[in-house]
Structure 1
Amino acid sequence: MQIVFMNQMSRTGSGDGGAAQVWIGEEEGIWQLGWRETGEEGDLQDESWYEGGSWQELLCVYRHGLAQKLGAGYRPVIEGVFHESDEIKGRNQHALKLQCYSELHSSDDLYSELCSWRRKKAAAGRKAPYFIASNRVLRMISAFVPHTREELLQLPGIGSSKAEEHGEEWLELTGKVTRSFQFPLDWVDRVLGEEEFMTWQYKQKEQKYKQELEHYRMSRLLLAGISEGLSIEELSSRTGLTRRAVVEALEDLEKEGYDTEVLIQSELVNMPESEQNSIWQSYEELGDTFLKPVLQRVYGGETAVEAAQEELYERLRLIRIRFRREQGEQKQAV
């Protein structure tokens, strides 16, 4: 086997250095990826991370596996192991440190209160909770406990519109909590340990690359099923996804340049052409961002049966894939 990449690692805080290696090799078109670690007794411990023919999948596994090791305290001898630009320079670094500090030092009691507030707000407005506020924003508030609108606006992720919409209610909750520090929050840069911050960053990368790896493998599974002529229901059974999740995944595949028309055609074969044309025309007139206005235009305001709604929304999504594909082709032709 020919080794095409290798990087030495050392573990922080380890008396003997905690030496390790991550390596990539190739033999007759088969890629291999592994980790070799020196144990406490000097014995070698090998881990096989990947063996197969896909360089893209290998990179996904490499990034995820390496992020796990870096989060556990290993550091590369040669920097730039992720082959990506530095994301934490300049003004963005301070925002990341605030996020890191908030996740490590937030008040669980205040965070629970904020989550309870969000659930009630979402239920009252019939919205998904993340449309009200993200977990990250609620962590920020619970960690830094702003007492004024000016302080609230110093937290990353909270702009004037969010402060205007929810600020009064947030400040009502934070006003009951005492704090031992003051704004502005430049002191966070001083008190947050560099190693603590770096470890947190690698944990963030681990989650990011785990999602990328899962997305890649799910995409391969779906594409294989489509090539076999499987239906949405059969793809749902094979992947464990709901029908809706399968169709949403098809939309993502189209965005990435894959052709899913064979599956769409088989799913819509019994759908009247007049109905398809009506949906298409509605997209032209109303746009393709939101499905509800199109649903109401095509099928009327009353679609009371939830099961029927799911079926109709599925049709709208499948037609929208075709619509967006044609719109993209027209733009390229101009």
Structure 2
Amino acid sequence: IDVLRKAYQGEVKLLYISPERLEVEGFIEKLSKQKISFVAVDEAHCISQWGHDFRPSYRNIYHLIEEIHPRPVVGAFTATATIRVKEDIIEQLSLENPFIKVTGFDRDNLYPVVERNVDKNKYLLEELDKRESAIIYCATRKIVEEVYTFLKRKGFPVSKYHGGLSKEEREDMQNLFIYDKLPVMVATLAFGMGIDKPDVRKVIHYNLPKSMENYYQEVGRGGRDGEKFKGILLFAPGDIRIQKFLLDQNDSDEEEYEKLDQMVAYANTNGCLRNYILEYFNEKPDGKCGFCQNCDSSFIEEDITVESKKILSCIYRSGQRFGASLIADVLKGSRNKRIRELQLDEISTHGLMKEYDKKRIVQMIDELVQREIVTKEQGKFPILHLNEKSSEVLKDKTPVIMRFRKEEEKVYSAKAEKTSARVFDLTPEKEKLFEVFRAWRKVKASEEQVPPYVIASDATLRSLVEVLPKTSEELLEVHGIGERKRDSIGEEVLRILGIWEGENTEKEVEIINSSANKDEPSYLVTFQLYQSGLDIEEIQRIRSLKKTTVCGHLIQALKEGYSVNIEDFVSPEKMEQIQSVQQELDTYRLKPIKEALPEEIDYDEIRFVMAWINRENSSE
């Protein structure tokens, strides 16, 4: 209210408002009486009904501009606008002969990945790193909760965000993510607007987005520090049903269904993933990018001309009235209720490809669509039709060769560049120093109550361990360190490097212990080191503590609700044994439980499991 009063009195030089504020009665009238020289519209694609995130309130911006005299300079900015959306922005804001600057859609530090039909949860366990920031986008609140619960039980430092949480819960989760307390965020697309966390190393779409615009904007929340990051899409056919259901619920127009079809085509392409994105946004790439999963993968070629002719024949004999899923069912020989009702089990192509699984048949149909050998109607009902190219295949004038990615490479691609994305291809010794700097940064950030990236970005830490500056002047050669940053952290950085270059064999101990905030509980310092990726033995050495003390710190963190993965300390077999004895004796006392267990199970392992059981019981 105080800000608005000052704005109405002309005391505010720069005012940020949401478009929804323009809907408040009298707001435009009062604001328009002020001397306004420039109106900047961010996320301008929201003004267009053809945009991926149309918000009707954006249309009121035009009314504000029209009420301001003289008319101010207007600037509109967006990261994801097709030609049609760009033209609509110009029309909706009534821009006359505007200066248009397109900087290009290519994000050269993005490594695009598409994984089809994988066990998504298993993939997350392989791909996620507890030391890295990652965002996992899910299609619905329900899926967010399921993925969040799964990862939390597996000990990942995970946060969540969706519209079903209260405002306070959303703010708390957002801050825990930004401050690296819980650096893995599971969210709906409601998360991300205004988030500028520079060190997000992975953006994972657990479900298929509804459009390329949505996908590319959400992916753009990674790698803002300029370092490489991965944009990963986990695709399964069921995702299409989810998105179609959501589109149906919103009474979407045909264009929204067409955009979904183009997103599905991206998920299925065996071509260069970066080129697909650029071509979608009307850019012409120069050959393969060499920096995406498909460009890095090996493919095998298979002649599917015979299979293609069977598919084309089935489309024709079924009357060119159905989509890929039903055609695949017919070729597979299904006798489900719908096929019997339509009498499609009586046509000659029924069961003609019964030796193939349905997924493979659909892949072949998608290939024919991409090559324009089959025409697919765009929109809500993607019916398949034959065309001139279909005739050439049926008459043996054109062979059809399909490329398949080697199955064994899916395991590789799930882990591709996992290490290099985190430590930037450093030598083992420099990687070790990089992790020491990360631990120091976390302690200092906690002391100053700021996000770790405010102290120093990952790119700055990488540059530090590469340059190894010895003087205050040499610090200015480090990426991300100017005079102000040098004044704030330079002395500590040089001290750490001095210790590292010295002869002290316990250099990590000296660095961490001398950096630790004396007011912070000791168990939290230990937890921060654990969260940065160090194991018990490394933490023992760095903090000069006994194993039992380190375990006690982590057990305390577990009790306090911090994300500690019990499987890092107790094997599933031992955990099952301890739980069984605890239930049988119906006690939490350590001594009788220890006496009833095999000798190789120690007290620390029992304490971990007891703390875990108590936390699980208290959360139910």
Normalised by the length of structure 2, the TM-score is 0.15
Normalised by the length of structure 1, the TM-score is 0.27
Structure with more relative contact order (C-alpha pairs < 8 Å, separation 6 or more): 1
Greater gyration radius: 2
- Which structure has the highest helix share of the two? 1
